[in-house]
Structure 1
Amino acid sequence: MGVRMRLTSLETVREEGSWLFTVRDRNGEHEEVILVPCEESGGEGSTSSRSQADEGVEAWINRCTHEAQQFDTGRGAPIRNGQLVCPRHGSMFDTCSGECDNGPAADTTLPGIEIELEDGDVYLTDDDVHFAHRGGIDDEDDDPSSTSHISF
């Protein structure tokens, strides 16, 4: 199902701090994913399956393992000292391994999405998902030609 697809550049992920996109799984369900910078060199303690040449960015499902709180709500993911921070309860996940060792989400690991880094570009390579669009799930439905902000 998955086709190798260029998402963005490593430089963009580092400049913006994170990069949000939406994928569709085999059942047609949408899921938000965030790309985050990863500064780890793949040493001991890393659960990354990527080689050192692929280090520099990781892709995680955009929700905390504790209460499904989104990290990135459209304004970038909160990252501090190589840790992705849950905005609800403060649990912190290593941006390289996805592991959490504190707060309500302690002893859990973020679900990842397979990506590759080649020549400074980030590619989606996960066979279980298909790229839907950049941004969050609801971003696809935004109609820039609409001038009404009324919702029912």
Structure 2
Amino acid sequence: MDDGTRIASVDDVPATGSYLFTAEDAFTNEREVILVRCEEDPGVEAWVNNCTHEDQRLDRGSGAAMRDGQIICPRHGSMFDACSGACDNGEAAGTTLPDVDVAVEDGNVHLVDDSYSYLHEGGIERDGGPSSSSHIGF
């Protein structure tokens, strides 16, 4: 593949859960991004690691909660389709997660979105821990 930065092996993306990495957007802001498995080609999708309802990380460092091909917001339980990013329930109903373009080739996931540059595996270093006040447990 001539274009795109290798992020991870497809095997690194769990069947349920997510693979977390950090990228820089066009305005030099660091953004957390998650890779999730999807039944549609290319088999892996990438989404900005934030619920569309509130500033809530979907993956807080140990993988996003998932059920039946949907990513679950740990704060209010809204569920986002892993393939389309669309939500049709809960507080985030009617919204779609911001996507990040990736390609899969030879068993590897590559960042091909011109709006982002790969920085590193894992999330953004934060002081004071996660901001969640969730009462939902998984």
Query: Which of 101, 106, 127 is residue 93 of structure 2 equivalent to?
Result: 106
**In the alignment, what sits opposite 1:96?**
83
Residue aligned with 1:109, SS: coil
Structure 1 unaligned blocks of 5 or more: 42-51, 142-152
The list of structure 1 runs, each at least 4 consecutive aligned residues, that deviate by more than 2 angstroms after superposition, is: 14-17
| Higher relative helix content | 1
- Cα 1:87–1:18 change in 2 (3 A) is same
Amino acid at match of 1:11: D
User: Deviation string for 1:19-67 (max 9, x for gaps)?
Assistant: 000111122111000000102x3xxxxxxxxxx4x2x110000010000
Compute the displacement of 1:15 (Å): 5.3
Matched with 2:44 is 57
Let me know the Cα RMSD of the aligned residues: 1.6
The one-letter amino acid of 1:109's match is T
Within 2, Cα distance between the matches of 1:33 and 1:114? 11
1:122 pairs with one of 109, 114, 130 = 109
**Structure 2 unaligned spans of 5+:** 128-138
Indicate whether 1:135 and 2:122 are aligned.
Answer: yes
Aligned length: 125
The match for 2:136 is: none
Distance in 1 separating the partners of 2:38 and 2:95: 18
Larger Rg: 1
